[in-house]
Amino acid sequence: MSPPSPSPAASPGRVLVAGATGYIGQHVVRELVRRGHPVVAIARPRAGVKGAMDEAATREALAGAEVRFGDVTDPISVRDALVRGERFDAVVSCLASRTGGVQDAWRIEHRANLELLEATRAAGLRQFVLLSAICVQRPKLAFQHAKLAFEQALVDSGVTWSIVRPTAFFKSLSGQVEAVKAGKRFVMFGDGELTACKPISEADLARFIAECLSDPKRQGAILPIGGPGEPITPRTQGELLFELLGRPPRFRRVPVGLMDAIIAVLGAGAHLVPSLADKAEFARIGRYYATESMLVWDEAAGRYDASATPAYGQDTLRDHYARILREGLAGQELGDHAMF
Ligand SMILES: NC(=O)c1ccc[n+]([C@@H]2O[C@H](COP(=O)([O-])OP(=O)(O)OC[C@H]3O[C@@H](n4cnc5c(N)ncnc54)[C@H](OP(=O)(O)O)[C@@H]3O)[C@@H](O)[C@H]2O)c1
């Protein structure tokens, strides 16, 4: 008797990845290709941090995937150039506004994801995995509201969904590495203990996301996720860096009130000069991360709870810092986020 043919669920499904040229998206493509999924990665003709990648560089970065170029903000391009009426087993969206500006956030995090969901669902999509962020649990910023609006649309869509809400990425904790290495002090708000996070590496997060495709426990679920080990505060980050450099820690404390003053000035200015609206939003984003932890929020207790924040993966911030102190920041660039 011949062995039974594998069920469709057993063979890796065909996946469309959006936001494929981003920090996490590139690793997600690599991970899915490694697992044998046929992958279609969608990108714009100039991609990457500050549009540094042309089409050839993007194809090289996403080797193993079929790369399609188009415009996720244009419904016709989504339909005709990117989805092309084809059926995908799953979409993984790592799309995100590169600036966090108010209009860009709604255009990318909400509208573009919606267009993609609609176009793929019309062609028989089964499953959608969304890369979101843990900070949406206490929304105060435009991009958080845009993310939440799409999360709700996805939950209501009828396709199998997973919403992945990671804590901080390694790149977001690497902005001061070069300056500290060059002899500067580590800058922190207050005493450096106002916030904490459980940072997760891009490779570990990509694995976690890929597993959502096959693990039923990660479907129909909102998934806060952090990396391994104890929660890390800004002060711990500074101490780690100085320890690895073999120098005594030196800190510069910045009062949070300074951010409030900047927000007040830019917010008032934005009423007169609309172009200041995004600058005021960037300052609000900076203040948010200076004062809110990237951990699960316990509503009843009114505090963040590190022990309730699931941990996944092997990569530690210590090893990451050691590597970038040795080899440089390649792949950890913040782009437009560098301003905060
Ligand atoms: N940073 C953190 O610590 C952190 C923590 C938790 C969650 N998150 C969330 O994780 C998500 C992904 O983060 P990431 O760092 O991987 O983002 P990223 O590197 O900024 O990548 C964003 C992706 O979206 C694409 N995109 C942005 N605007 C576009 C546009 N107008 N047209 C077409 N594509 C566009 C980018 O394409 P191009 O390459 O063409 O620009 C890129 O592929 C975000 O939702 C973020 O909020 C971040």
Strands (E), the chain: 15-18, 39-43, 66-69, 90-93, 127-131, 160-166, 186-189, 221-225, 251-254, 296-298, 303-305
Instruction: Measure the N-to-C terminal CA separation of the chain; round to a whole number of Å.
Output: 64
Residue with tokens 């096959």, as numbered in its chain: 214
Residue 6 pLDDT exceeds 60: no
- Which of 203-207, 250-254, 269-273, 295-299 has the lowest average pLDDT? 269-273
Find the 46 Cα to ligand 1 centroid distance in Å.
14
Pocket test for ligand 1, best of 21, 197, 225 (most atoms within 8 A of CB): 21
Q: Rounded mean pLDDT of 235-253?
A: 98
3-class DSSP state of 82? helix
Which protein residue has the closest C-alpha to ligand 1 atom 40? 47
Pocket test for ligand 1, best of 29, 67, 95 (most atoms within 8 A of CB): 95
Q: Taking the model in full, what pTM does it have?
A: 0.94
Which protein residue has the closest C-alpha to ligand 1 atom 20? 98
Q: With pLDDT > 90 as the criterion, what percentage of the chain qualifies?
A: 83
Residue 1 pLDDT exceeds 50: no
Q: Rounded mean pLDDT of 140-163?
A: 97
Which residues lie below 8 Å from residue 327, measured CB to CB, with a gap of 6+?
Answer: none
Q: How far is CA 6 from CA 12, 49, 275, 320, in A?
A: 11, 41, 57, 40
Give yes or no for a contact between 170 and 317, defined as CB atoms under 8 angstroms apart. yes
Q: What's the rounded Cα separation, in Å, for the pair 264 and 267?
A: 5
Residue 2 pLDDT exceeds 70: no
Find the 33 Cα to ligand 1 centroid distance in Å.
20
- Ligand 1: which atom is nearest the Cα of residue 147? 45
Q: Residue 40 pairs with which residues in a beta bridge?
A: 16, 66
Quick one: pLDDT at residue 8? Answer: 43
Find the 22 Cα to ligand 1 centroid distance in Å.
5
Would you list the domain boundaries of the chain? 12-168+201-225, 234-335
5/194: higher pLDDT? 194
Find the 79 Cα to ligand 1 centroid distance in Å.
21
Q: Confidence class of residue 336 from pLDDT cuts 50, 70 and 90?
A: low
pLDDT tens digits, 79-111: 999 999 999 999 999 999 998 899 999 999 999
Other beta carbons less than 10 A from residue 233's beta carbon: 18
Q: Rounded mean pLDDT of 161-185?
A: 97
Mean pLDDT of the chain: 93
pLDDT tens digits, 178-217: 999 999 999 999 999 999 999 999 999 999 999 999 999 9
Which protein residue has the closest C-alpha to ligand 1 atom 45? 96
pLDDT tens digits, 217-233: 999 999 999 999 999 99
Q: Rounded mean pLDDT of 164-187?
A: 96
Give yes or no for a contact between 154 and 130, defined as CB atoms under 8 angstroms apart. yes
Q: What is the DSSP letter of 53?
A: B
Q: What's the rounded Cα separation, in Å, for the pair 12 and 34?
A: 11
Closest CA to 251 of 186, 206, 313: 186
Which protein residue has the closest C-alpha to ligand 1 atom 28? 97
3-class DSSP state of 333? coil
Q: What's the rounded Cα separation, in Å, for the pair 24 and 26?
A: 6
Which amino acid, one-letter code, is at 34? R
| Any ligand 1 atom below 6 A from CB of 277 | no
| Any ligand 1 atom below 6 A from CB of 166 | yes
Half-sphere exposure of 281 (CA within 13 A, CB side): 19
CATH hierarchy code of domain 12-168+201-225: 3.40.50.720
H or E stretch covering 34: helix 23-34
DSSP per-residue codes, 228-269: SSS-B-HHHHHHHHHHHHTS---EEEE-HHHHHHHHHHHHHH
Quick one: pLDDT at residue 10? Answer: 62
Give yes or no for a contact between 168 and 56, defined as CB atoms under 8 angstroms apart. no
Find the 25 Cα to ligand 1 centroid distance in Å.
8
3-state SS track over 174-199: CCCHHHHHCCCCEEEECCCCCCCECC
Give yes or no for a contact between 298 and 224, defined as CB atoms under 8 angstroms apart. no
- Ligand 1: which atom is nearest the Cα of residue 134? 6
pLDDT tens digits, 110-130: 999 999 999 999 999 999 999
Quick one: pLDDT at residue 337? Answer: 54
